[in-house]
Amino acid sequence: MASTPKMHQSNRNLLDIDRDHLIHSVTSFRAHEARGATMLQSGKGMWLTDMDGREVLDAFAGLWCVNVGYGQDSIVEAAAEQMRRLPYATGYFHFGCEPAARLAERLVALSPEGLEHVYFTLGGSDAVDSAIRYITHYYNAIGKPAKKQCIALERGYHGSSSTGAGLTALANFHRNFDLPLRWQHHISSPYPYRSDLEGDDAAIIARSVQQLKDRVAELGADNVAAFFCEPIQGSGGVIVPPVGWLKAMRQACDELDILLVADEVITAFGRTGPMFACEAEGVTPDLMTVAKGLTSGYVPMGAVLMSDKVYQGIADGAAADVVIGHGATYSGHPVSAAVGLEVLRLYTEGGILANGQKVAARFDAGLAGLADHPLVGDTRGRGLLGAIELVADKGTKARFDPALKVADRLFNDGYANGVIFRAFADNIIGLAPALCATDAEMDEIFARIRKTLDGLLEQADIRATLG
Ligand code: PLP
């Protein structure tokens, strides 16, 4: 083949190519230009190998999504077989295909009683965005067009679509994006460690309920459409509310006549123990968004699960021959759906869900074992979703000075010690290992984290700030 300038370019160092042309998600462009990418090359089970051949333990399942672990051959085969047979079928108009219909049926069977309809998306952000669109349509269809205001939690994360990013309540997602939108509101998150009510679970729950009621009263009950929440907040720093919180919020939504949307993009598919986090509290939301663990990150896919009440409201509100104008070329993509079916099989018949529930005891023990570390203010978790919150002063819970860049140092030192976790800006280590981990791998994760914390503790500027 003739050599072209483009081919010449592709022989450049991969890090330079990446730096010059690839925009990375949720990254400072300038910081990325300076730092460059950490290039990953292959994965097996809990382990990743980077471009330099270094093996690291992934304690974050990619981005809390590779729940079944890397290198599951049966998933590769399911995708290849579907690609050979039928790589694409539209879900538009009245076309369909077997994997999408079967996956919808399977999801309905596994999810909390009462969720009966499924719309497939490409991921979590468009699942949330679709939920918002369907809710808007629903209230117009049932003759309550004023009900448009939505309430979510501070520190909540609902993706980065132009509607969902305003329900997200993280400063970087609003700054310079002109968000939140005027119909988006937030109440404080049930964050026991940072609450003046710490230790009194009932009072923390009661305060959330009261805040929701107060905000609805302020906005006018006839104007409020829905309350959106993650059963456990992920990107806000793995904030675990007291047991019973979700159930109380469900009851409050019923009393207030507003819809409950459970954003289970992280918490579904065994991440917190049961198949769905809502299950643990016997809660059926009106809509539930999922993604990540649905295909375990092998291919993109998300979904909105919808109660029959919402579905029938939308269906009855439109004349039989008027289309409901929401859709996407790749909704219900056959290859993603085939992967989803195989991933669900691995969770259930493949025993991965049960393994996750078993190894969660070791995960808990690992978290508890770090509680007395001089840098650790709080450890928390449910199932295989957890956090270690570092503080400069255990007594006052004071955070480290941002100038110390503790999160960056934590991530880099962890990586050097052979473990990947999420290091949140306010010095919270987020953990979400795959459900296929062994007890020995779990112990190794915590040994590497301890080594990382000990290393940080030895650094003079960190020691100097400790209370
Ligand atoms: N909702 C929640 C709770 C999430 O954690 C995420 C992603 O982390 C999203 C929505 C957005 O999903 P995606 O990144 O697949 O668009």
Q: Does residue 12 have a pLDDT over 90?
A: no
* Residues pairing with 393 in the sheet: 398
Identify whether the C-beta of residue 390 lies closer than 8 Å to the C-beta of residue 409.
no
Mutate to test the pocket of ligand 1, among 24, 157, 264 (most ligand atoms within 8 A of CB): 157
- CB distance 260 to ligand 1 below 6 Å: no
Q: How many residues does the chain have?
A: 467
What CATH number is given for 38-71+351-465 in this structure? 3.90.1150.10
Tokens 């809502």 belong to residue: 278
User: What confidence category does residue 11 fall into, taking pLDDT thresholds of 50, 70 and 90?
Assistant: low
> Within 10 A of 88 (CB to CB), how many other CB atoms are there?
12
Three-state DSSP class for residue 301: coil
Three-state DSSP class for residue 128: helix
Find the largest Cα–Cα distance for the chain: 72
Which pLDDT score, from 0 to 100, does residue 317 have? 86
User: What residues does each domain of the chain span?
Assistant: 38-71+351-465, 74-347
For residue range 314-328, list pLDDT tens digits in order: 999 877 778 999 999
Three-state DSSP class for residue 228: strand
Cis status of the peptide bond prior to 180, with omega within 30 of 0:
yes
For residue range 278-318, list pLDDT tens digits in order: 999 999 999 999 999 999 999 999 999 999 999 999 999 87
User: What confidence category does residue 3 fall into, taking pLDDT thresholds of 50, 70 and 90?
Assistant: very low
Cα(126) to centroid(ligand 1), Å: 9
For residue range 148-189, list pLDDT tens digits in order: 999 999 999 999 999 999 999 999 999 999 999 999 999 999
For residue range 352-366, list pLDDT tens digits in order: 999 999 999 999 999
Measured from the CA of 264, which atom of ligand 1 is nearest? 3
For residue range 102-135, list pLDDT tens digits in order: 999 999 999 999 999 999 999 999 999 999 999 9
- CB distance 418 to ligand 1 below 6 Å: no
Tokens 């730096």 belong to residue: 19
Q: Whose CA is closest to atom 1 on ligand 1?
A: 158
Measured from the CA of 263, which atom of ligand 1 is nearest? 3
For residue range 37-52, list pLDDT tens digits in order: 999 999 999 999 999 9
Q: Among 97, 127, 61, which residue's Cα sits nearest to residue 298?
A: 61
- CB distance 230 to ligand 1 below 6 Å: yes
* CATH class, range 74-347: alpha beta
Q: What is the pTM of this model?
A: 0.96
Does the interface predicted TM-score (ipTM) exceed 0.90?
Answer: yes
Measured from the CA of 267, which atom of ligand 1 is nearest? 3
